[in-house]
Chains A and B, each alone.
Chain A
Amino acid sequence: MRSPAKHLAALATGAVVLAAACTSAPASDNVLRIAMGSPGEAQIRVWDDVAKQFEAANPGMKVELNYQDDDLYQTIGLQNLLNGRNAPDIYFEWTGNRLAQRVKDGFAADISSKFDSGPLAGLFDDTTLDEYKIEDKIVMVPYSADVTNVLWYNKQILADAGVQPPTSWEELLAVCDTLNAAGVTPIASGNKDLWAAGNWLSHMASRVVGEDAYVSTLGGTGKFATPEWEKAFGYITELADHKCVNESANSIDDNEGAQLFFQGKAAMHPIGSWLVSWAIDEAPDLDFDYVNLPAMPDGAGNQDSVIGVQTGFVINAKSAKVDKAAEFMAMLNSDENVQKLIEAEVTPLTKSASAGQDIDSRSANLTALLNDAPAIVLPPDTGYDLEMADALYAAEAAVLGGQQTPAEALGGIDKKIGR
């Protein structure tokens, strides 16, 4: 071979060899690494504070907090971190499919003993911990439970239009018609990234097809192009026909969608429990409240179901510092720090958290809503496979925007994910 070609081949081989040579060994230094998405400035302050407390109590140890971009973390960010050098010792996760996958891949330590007699004993109720078990082993330290989607409404606008917040689907459509006639946008959604309306509509679909069908179809069994799902998506078409949602929904993101609500340009806004503190900051004069998703006519699901997430922190089974990690989590969940987390708008699940505090009545109601829910539905993108969730969200958006019929959209999902 000519020397330059050999040069090239050598380089390429060298690169691959180097690549193979670098394994993902757990770091045995004295740095405790914690990874999560971006929880917002308020929470970050609490975490930074706890990190300092831990370092003070453990001289010689450092705490490294890695706040990744939310979207990246949820897609490949966490994977890359776990498989790379200096993998995190503690990392944020959602219950559901993702957690099961972590256990399967060997990244989730069984920390049941830490709750029995270890540093985490006595902090959480047994019923709470049930949700955080895979095959009867506790694999995650609970962090917070949030309602992913409810229908928020502007009390003033609805009152002016002479309508009540809708509790049934027919009422919702009627309210839309009335509001449209009065020249007000009924529902604002910032659906550029597809999940904002996607979660709302997926919850609605689960009410129609039933929780079991929802779990099984999203979980990987069976096709989407079935009569039940078509019936569910048919309601999305009704939303489009009644012009319930703002025209610009697919070009503005969730922040901008919320702004429309804050500025009184729309009467209702389907989004999660995090709206409360945000609205209080941005639109202090806004008089708003929520209703859970209106009951669907003739639905197979529990019409009082709530769509929500339960999040927590997993201790990396491959970490060399599992004990220290458990200690850190115990420190995070001390009574004091829990109060600080509550102030930062987290809804911690510790026993001490439920010993009430000065939180907004709406947030308290939402927590009660989730706790008392007869059925909980997990959002597609955190409870199930991400590629499937993307396809589902895209299909819902297409039907909402009048671009596709339910049958077309559902067939599209199946085609995209190969069912």
Chain B
Amino acid sequence: MTGDARRFRTRRLPGILATGGLALLAIVFFFPMVWMVLSSFKSNSEIFRAPFALPTGIDFGRWAEAWEVGHLGSYALNSAIVTAASVFVILICGAAAAFAFSRYRFRGRGFFMSLFALGLILPLQSYFIAQSQLFTQLAITDTRLALIIPYAAMGMSLAVYLLKVYMDALPHELFEAARIDGAGDFRMFRTLAMPLLRPGLATVAIFSALAAWNEFLLALLYIQDDTLKTIPTGLLAFSSRYVTDYALLFSALSIVTIPMIVIYVVFNRHIVEGITAGSVK
């Protein structure tokens, strides 16, 4: 065999094979979603009779109908409010706690750090029953607060952990210098630490937002009022009301799915960074 052929075999062929294999798998993976979007443009009887046929035309009418009839706007708004609020709480409280753990030595530091570490591994089941009792007694069920508080609490551990990692990486001298300049602790936190933490905050924000946006169990248990439902529970309610209007159902699902994919493409870098930071313990 000539040197060229061998080079091709060891250099280019694996790449081509791998790309080919990936392409095949990617098609299989992506197919259900593509099919779902395409089917949303068909009529119900078309979906039943000829599921694999392409739609005859691209008509967004059913999408508009799904949005209206399915109160998707309301669900999206609720999801947005709950997510934004919980992320806000997570970032502020998490950064502050991370600051305390990273920059100070104090009595109980180790204990509190292990409490938050416990939160990383503690399953939802260990507390949601009592949490729901608590919320019922405090009469905050069927309010957005009933979701914001748990989401903030559940995201706190990861936020504290990740932000501490980022904070630890900040150079000691910076803070010493600021101290010499007479800066108080809160000033240091606000004007020095927070701005430097921006990449870490972004990563935490993205992950907490994703978790809150997609959370289902608590949303199911705590919110019955349709006007307050978030997207997961709203979609479930929608799907049980229109369970057999598949075109409408797929339209609703498409409306929810496509923005998420766009967001992924846009924030792709941050997400990869976050996963890297998280898994490299």
Contact = CB atoms under 8 A, between A and B. Distances in A.
Interface stretch (A77-85, A129-137, A387-395): A77-85
A188 to B, nearest CB: 13
A4 B243 contact: no
Interface in A214-255: 253, 255
B136 A84 contact: yes
B137 A255 contact: no
B104 to A, nearest CB: 15
A22 B133 contact: no
A275 B244 CA distance: 15
A335 B93 CA distance: 60
B139 A84 contact: yes
Given A15-B134, A19-B138, A263-B48, A4 B224 contact: no
Given A18-B137, A19-B137, A77-B224, A256 B244 contact: yes
B237 interface: yes
A212 interface: no
A72 B108 contact: no
B134 A256 contact: no
A282 B139 CA distance: 41
Contact of A255 (B138, B237, B243): B243
Contacts of B136: 80, 84
A259 B47 CA distance: 14
Contacts of A256: 243-244
Interface string B33-72: 0000000000000001000000000000000000000000
A7 to B, nearest CB: 9
Interface in B229-270: 237, 240, 243-244
Interface size class of B (residues with CB under 8 A): 10 to 19
A18 B108 contact: no
Contacts of B139: 22, 84-85
A104 interface: no
Contacts of B237: 69
Interface in B180-222: none
B111 interface: yes
Interface size class of A (residues with CB under 8 A): 20 to 34
Contact of A4 (B48, B111, B226, B244): B111
A19 B133 contact: yes
Nearest to B241: A38
A258 B226 CA distance: 26
A18 B140 CA distance: 13
B220 to A, nearest CB: 9
Nearest to A282: B244
Interface string A8-32: 0000000100111010000000000
A67 B224 CA distance: 9
A77 B244 CA distance: 26
B112 interface: yes
Contacts of A2: 108, 111
Nearest to A255: B243
B138 A22 contact: yes
Contacts of A19: 133-134, 137-138
A361 interface: no
Contacts of B137: 18-20, 22
A18 B224 contact: no
Interface in A263-294: 263, 282
A67 B225 CA distance: 8
Contacts of A72: 224
A357 interface: no
Contacts of B133: 19
A35 to B, nearest CB: 10
A72 B221 CA distance: 10
Nearest to B107: A3
Interface in B133-189: 133-134, 136-139
A3 B112 CA distance: 11
Contacts of B224: 68-69, 72, 77
Interface in B106-123: 107-108, 111-112, 115
Nearest to B243: A255
A237 B118 CA distance: 51
Contacts of A20: 137
Contacts of A263: 48
Interface of B: 48, 107-108, 111-112, 115, 133-134, 136-139, 224-226, 237, 240, 243-244
The 5 A-B pairs of least Cβ separation, nearest first, read A19-B137, A255-B243, A85-B139, A259-B244, A4-B108
23 contacts: A2-B108, A3-B107, A4-B108, A4-B111, A18-B137, A19-B133, A19-B137, A19-B138, A20-B137, A22-B137, A22-B138, A22-B139, A66-B225, A67-B226, A68-B224, A77-B224, A84-B136, A84-B139, A255-B240, A255-B243, A256-B243, A263-B48, A282-B244
Given A22-B139, A258-B244, 11 more contacts: A4-B108, A66-B225, A68-B224, A69-B224, A72-B224, A77-B224, A84-B136, A85-B139, A255-B243, A256-B244, A282-B244
